[in-house]
Chain A
C-alpha cells in the first residue's frame, strides 16, 4: 500500500498541530513520561526533600535528571506534561470525539479530569501558604512564607524603624547561583546593591574558628560565610550571601554578609539589620521572609496547651482568637487541630506552638498555617464529576447489554 504524503506547507500547519495535539498516541507518550517523571521525582525526594523535588520535577517545564547519579538526561517537567495533557484531552476527548448519547459518560468523566488538571494549574499559579505566629494579646494581619527569602534594603530612622523598603524578590534572589554576581539597582537609592556568593543554606563562621581556614569565602568583619548542603526540609534552610553597597557618588563599596539567621524566630523579636551609611543617611539591609497581608486581623486571646502526663507529647493545643475586619462585627472563635477557621478565601489551621521546649504554664505563642487556594475544593468536585460520568457510562453500558441479551434468539432446546 502506498504511503500518503503529508502536506507540510505552512497553510496546513494548523491542521497538523490539531492532529498532533488531539492524538491518542500523544496521550500515551505523556502518560509514560508522567510515570517516569513521577518515579524520578519520588526517588529524588529521598535525597533532596519534598519541596525541592516538587519544584524540580513537577513545577517545571524541563527537568534534568542524573540517571544513576551520573548520566544527565533531559525530561519534560510535570508542568509541561500536564499542560500538554490538558490540551490533548480538550481536543481529543471533548472537541474531536463523536457526539452521541452513549458517549455522554466519558465526556463528563473527561470534563472532570480536565477540571482536576485546571485546579492543579490554579493551585500552582495562585495558591499561597505561610504562617502567622502570635503571643496572647498580639494582633496581626501579616502572613510570612515558610521558604521564600528576599533581600530588603531600607532607610532606617534613629529608633530602628523603617516605613518603606526596596526589595529583591525571592524568585530573583533564590535563583542567583553561588558563583554569580547580581546587581540590583533603583533610581530611588544612592547606591547599587551587588549580591555575590548566594547560598540557599549557609552558616557564618568566625575566622578564628579552625574550620574557617578551609572555607573559600571572603572575610568580612571577622566572619566568613560557609555554604551548607540544603536541608531536605526546605523550611529549615537559612540562606546567606555577600553584598556590596556601591555608592553612586563613588567611594569604597560597603561590604557585608547577610544571613537569614539574623531574622526573627520569635514573634516578639525584631530582625537584626546590617546598618550602613551613604550620603549621610542610615540604611539597613536584611534577608527577610517574604510576607503578605490578609484582609482582616487576628488577635490571639488565649492559647491552651496540654501535655500527656509524664511525656513531652502534646495532648491538645488550641487557640481562642478574635477576628477583626473593617465594617464587620468582631468575631470570637476557636481554632483547633482539624478544626480550621475558613474565612474570605483563607484557611487558618492550628499548626504548632513555641518557643521550643515550652511546658504548660509557660508563656507560649501559637502558630497558624495560613493557606489561600482558589481551587481548594476543585479536586473534590472534579472527582465527583468524573465519578458521575463513569456511573452514567456504566448504566448506559448495562442497559445496552441487557437490550442486546434480550434481542438474541433463544437457544434451541437440547435433546
Chain B
C-alpha cells in the first residue's frame, strides 16, 4: 500500500488544527457568578487553619486543653511500657514519649500526622538522611519489611550509622541505631521511632516489638 503526499496532506492539516485546539488558555480568567438564593449554603466557621485542615494538635503535658489523644471522652492511645523504659512528657508532635537505657540515652516516640504525613517515601528517606544513609527509591521502600501496628502492616526501618536529628540540631551522635515503623494511609500516618546508641537499641529491640504491638486505641 502506498500513500501519496496529496492523500496525507489533509491529515497533516487536520492534525495541525487539532494541536492548536489543545493549547491551554491564558493564565488569567474571569470568575463565574452563581446565584444560590433559594438554597443558600451554610459553612462551618473555624478559628484556624489547623481546624480547617482537620489537624488535631496534641497539647503538651500540663495544658488544660483536652487532647485528641488523651481526652477522657474521646479516643486515646493505650500501650504497655516495657520494663526499664521511662515515660517522658508528651509534646505537640509526640503522643507517646519514652526513654530507655542506663542513662536514658535511648528514646522512642509515637507521632501522628493528618493525611499521609508527607508520604511514606519522604519520611523513610528523611530518617535515612538522619542516619547518613542514601535515599531509597519508591520501589525499594515498597519492598521494605513489615511489622504489625494497630493490626495493620507498617513498614519497618532499621538503620545504623551516625545520627543527626536535623530540625536545627547540628550535633551528630556516632554509632547509633534507628528502629522505626511507619503506617501511612490517606486517613492519617502513624510513626514509631526509636533511636539510641547501637548497643542500647540492640538490647531493647525485643522491647520495641512488644511496645509497638501493644499500642491500641481505646474509646473509653
Contact with A along B17-49 (1 / 0, CB 8 A): 011011011011111111111011111111011
Given contacts A209-B113, A261-B115, are A272 and B43 in contact (CB under 8 A)? yes
Segment 139-193 of A: residues with Cβ below 8 Å from B: 142, 152-154, 156, 160-169, 172, 175, 180-186, 188-189, 193
> Is the CB–CB distance between B45 and A275 below 8 Å?
yes
* Distance in angstroms between the alpha carbons of A148 and B8 in the assembled complex: 39
A residues 211-250 touching B (CB-CB < 8 Å): 211-215, 220-223, 226, 228-229, 231, 236, 238
Is B7's beta carbon under 8 Å from chain A? yes
User: Is A208 an interface residue when CB atoms closer than 8 A count as contact?
Assistant: yes
User: Is A262 in contact with B55, judged by CB distance below 8 angstroms?
Assistant: no
144-171 of chain B: CB within 8 A of chain A: 166-167
Known contacts A168-B31, A182-B27, A184-B29; decide if A262 and B53 are in contact (CB<8 Å): yes
- Asked if B116 and A203 make an inter-chain contact with CB atoms under 8 angstroms apart, the answer reads yes
Q: How far is the CA of A20 from the CA of B119 in the complex (A)?
A: 52
Chain B hits for A402, CB < 8 A? none
Name the B residues within 8 Å of A352 (CB-CB).
none
CB–CB B39/A182 < 8 A: no
User: Across the interface, which residues of A come within 8 angstroms of B29, CB to CB?
Assistant: 168, 172, 182-185
- Tell me whether B53 and A223 are in contact (CB under 8 A): yes
CB pair A185–B28 under 8 Å, yes or no, is: yes
User: Does B186 have its Cβ within 8 Å of any Cβ on chain A?
Assistant: yes
- Residues of chain A with a CB closer than 8 A to B9's CB: 16, 20
Is A91 at the interface (CB under 8 A from chain B)? no
A231 to B187, CA, bound (A): 13
Judging by beta carbons under 8 Å apart, are A273 and B43 in contact? yes
**B209 interface contact, C-beta 8 A:** no
A57 within 8 A of B: no
Q: A164–B116 Cα gap in the complex (Å)?
A: 34
User: Given A19-B7, A168-B31, A210-B167, are A161 and B41 also a contact pair (CB < 8 Å)?
Assistant: yes
Nearest residue, chain B, Cβ from A23: B7
Is A136 at the interface (CB under 8 A from chain B)? no
Cβ–Cβ contact B93 & A209, under 8 A: yes
Check A211 against B42 for contact (C-beta < 8 Å).
no
Q: A365 on the interface (CB 8 Å rule)? A: no
B1 within 8 A of A: yes
Q: Is the CB of A162 within 8 A of B43?
A: yes
B1 (CB) vs chain A CBs: closest residue: A25
* Interface residues on chain A, size class: 35 or more
What does DSSP make chain A's interface, helix, strand, loop or mixed? mixed
- Docked-complex contact A166 and B44, CB < 8 angstroms: no
A411–B119 Cα distance when bound, in Å, is 83
Decide if A6 touches B6 in the complex (CB within 8 Å): yes
Residue pair B32, A169 in contact (C-beta under 8 Å): yes
Contact B28 A61 (CB under 8 A): no
B40 contacts A273, C-beta separation under 8 Å: no
- CA–CA, A312 and B36, complex, Å: 41
Q: Are A17 and B44 in contact (CB under 8 A)?
A: no
Set A6, A62, A204, A213: member contacting B167, Cβ < 8 A: A213
> How far, in angstroms, from A364 to B9 measured CA to CA in the complex?
61
- Which residues of A sit under 8 angstroms from B114, Cβ to Cβ? 203-205, 261
Across the interface, which residues of A come within 8 angstroms of B34, CB to CB? Answer: 152, 164-167
Do B42 and A160 touch (CB < 8 A)? yes
Query: Would you give the 0/1 interface string for A9-29, flagging 1 where the beta carbon is closer than 8 Å to chain B?
Result: 000000011011101011010
Q: Contacts A16-B6, A165-B34 given; indicate if A212 touches B118 (C-beta within 8 A).
A: yes
Contacts of B14 in A (CB 8 A): 84
Flag if B28 contacts A162 (CB, 8 Å). no
Task: Write the nearest CB–CB distance from B9 to chain A, whole angstroms.
Answer: 7
- Give complex CA distance A80, B15 in Å: 9
Residue from A20, A166, A228 in contact with B32 in the complex, judged by beta carbons closer than 8 Å = A166
How far, in whole Å, are A300 and B4 apart by their CA atoms in the complex?
Answer: 64
12 contacts between A and B (CB under 8 A): A6-B4, A17-B10, A161-B40, A164-B33, A164-B36, A185-B31, A211-B122, A226-B115, A228-B119, A238-B115, A256-B49, A259-B52
Identify the 6 closest CB pairs spanning chains A and B, nearest first: A203-B115, A211-B118, A166-B31, A221-B49, A6-B6, A186-B31
**Residues of A participating in the B interface, judged by any CB pair closer than 8 Å:** 6, 8, 16-17, 19-21, 23, 25-26, 28, 60-62, 76, 80, 84, 142, 152-154, 156, 160-169, 172, 175, 180-186, 188-189, 193, 203-206, 208-215, 220-223, 226, 228-229, 231, 236, 238, 256-257, 259, 261-262, 269-275, 284, 286
